[in-house]
Amino acid sequence: AQSVTQPDIHITVSEGASLELRCNYSYGATPYLFWYVQSPGQGLQLLLKYFSGDTLVQGIKGFEAEFKRSQSSFNLRKPSVHWSDAAEYFCAVGLSGGGADGLTFGKGTHLIIQP
């Protein structure tokens, strides 16, 4: 069965600084990978996804992620964070494009932005 590990439960970053959130997955084949963001009391919003092709994918809100097969990683990055980026971030893996079966989520990383 597939699994997702987000090693950092909390991360604190100063506003304007760069950000990297780590995600490692375990799956026998090439997975479909996703990053979602959850603001307090809200549902999950898709930031970006990787299906195939270019290993560096661009998402919404200035986020990007890089798929590294050799490291089984899909880390999320942003060059300069804004206070509004404070939220919970979830990495997820699917067996398909994410639409035909369920996703397996990591436990999430709580991002705190310092002024």
Partner 1 sequence: DAGVIQSPRHEVTEMGQEVTLRCKPISGHNSLFWYRQTMMRGLELLIYFNNNVPIDDSGMPEDRFSAKMPNASFSTLKIQPSEPRDSAVYFCASSFVPSEQYFGPGTRLTVT
- Please report, as ranges, the residues that interact with partner 1 according to CB under 8 A: 34, 36, 41-46, 49, 90, 96-108
Nearest-approach distance from CB 100 to partner 1, in angstroms: 5
Residue 28 or residue 40: which is nearer to partner 1 going by CB? 40
User: Which CB, 32 or 81, lies closer to partner 1?
Assistant: 32
Pick 4 or 13: Cβ nearer partner 1: 4
Least CB distance to partner 1 at residue 32 (A)? 9
**What SS3 class is residue 1?**
coil
Minimum CB separation from partner 1 for residue 4, in Å? 10
Coil, strand or helix: which one is 21?
A: strand
3-state SS of 72-111 is CEEEEEECCCCHHHCEEEEEEEECCCCCCCCCEECCCEEE
Q: Shortest Cβ distance from residue 103 to partner 1 (Å)? A: 7
Collapsing DSSP to helix, strand or coil, 38 comes out as: strand
